[in-house]
Amino acid sequence: MSTTRTAIVTGAARGIGAETARRLAADGFAVAVLDLDESAGKPVVAEIETAGGRALAVGVDVADEQAVEAAVARVAAELGAPTVLVNNAGITRDNLLFKMTVAEWDSVLNVHLRGSFLMSRAVQKHMIEAKWGRIVNLSSTSALGNRGQANYSAAKAGLQGFTKTLAIELGKFGVTVNAVAPGFIETDMTAATAARVGVNFEDYRAAAAAQIPVQRIGQPADIANAVSFFVGAAAGFVSGQVLYVAGGPKD
């Protein structure tokens, strides 16, 4: 077990994060399931352990510097030094610009951008020590612009610049940094968006699928598969890339 690499997935209690945690565990990683509510991550840990893997639930606010440092230290002590980081934690506070509050702007930028910065800064020392590492940041097709999401779009576009810069800085240490940008994925977050705009979720999904070239909406596993590729040994010459997983072309 001493040769098992440890991965951290943030926002891993549900949706894309939970599916990614399960996939990385199946790939042979010990997985730290980080989420704002530690107890919410425990069912995912139980699933991984039942399947024969090793996992740990850790509660952390990724926008809190001290909490991040403490969480990463706990993962290193209890699971092993983390050399894979998936920055997935995210929230939405959608509103049109003229109605958007400073709190709605700040909370979204804090979780997505500040959180990814703090987590990456805390984990990179373990990667550099190991001379090997993988960081995958979750962007979004919203980075290309999406009505009512000035905060979310700015954060997700910011993550792409962050990804490319870290790829340049960390490459000489054997660390690759890439981003996955999902399109419409069936999660609690998209269900909440449908509810917010007053549309039945079945109708919302059908309308979305009709606009996608492959004629279906995405599932969390579609994103977990892309993350699995980026963190694998075979992707060692792929860095600073943004992969749109959206059922069709995006630019």
Domain boundaries, the chain: 6-183+219-245, 184-217
Pairing of strands 30-35, 55-59: parallel
106-111 contact pairs (CB < 8 A, 24+): 108/151, 108/152, 108/155, 109/151, 109/154, 109/155, 109/158, 110/63, 111/62, 111/63, 111/155
46-50 average pLDDT score: 98
Q: Pick 197 or 23 by higher pLDDT.
A: 23
152 a catalytic residue? yes
Catalytic position from the list 152, 184, 204, 230:
152
pLDDT value of position 170: 98
For the cut 60, the answer to whether the pLDDT of residue 2 exceeds it is no
For the cut 50, the answer to whether the pLDDT of residue 205 exceeds it is yes
Question: Would you identify the CATH topology of the domain 6-183+219-245?
Answer: Rossmann fold (3.40.50)
119-135 average pLDDT score: 98
pLDDT band at 251 (very low <50, low <70, confident <90, very high): confident
134-149 average pLDDT score: 97
196-207 average pLDDT score: 90
For the cut 90, the answer to whether the pLDDT of residue 189 exceeds it is no
Helix (H, G, I), strand (E, B) or coil at 249: coil
Percentage of residues in the chain with pLDDT exceeding 70? 99
Signed CA dihedral, 95, 100, 101, 104: sign only: positive
pLDDT value of position 190: 87
For the cut 60, the answer to whether the pLDDT of residue 150 exceeds it is yes
The closest of 116, 244, 114 to 177, measured between CA atoms, is: 116
79-83 average pLDDT score: 98
pLDDT value of position 1: 37
| Residue type at position 174 | G
Q: Is 215 exposed, middle or buried (0-12, 13-18, 19+ CB in 10 A)?
A: exposed
Q: How many helices (H) and strands (E) does the chain have?
A: 9, 7
For the cut 90, the answer to whether the pLDDT of residue 197 exceeds it is no
pLDDT band at 193 (very low <50, low <70, confident <90, very high): confident
CA distance 219 to 225: 10
The closest of 84, 85, 106 to 95, measured between CA atoms, is: 106
Beginning with the edge strand found earlier in the chain, give each strand of the sheet holding 82-87 in spatial order.
Answer: 55-59, 30-35, 6-10, 82-87, 133-138, 175-182, 242-245
pLDDT band at 191 (very low <50, low <70, confident <90, very high): confident
CA distance 122 to 145: 30
The answer to whether the CB of 231 falls within 8 A of the CB of 177 is no
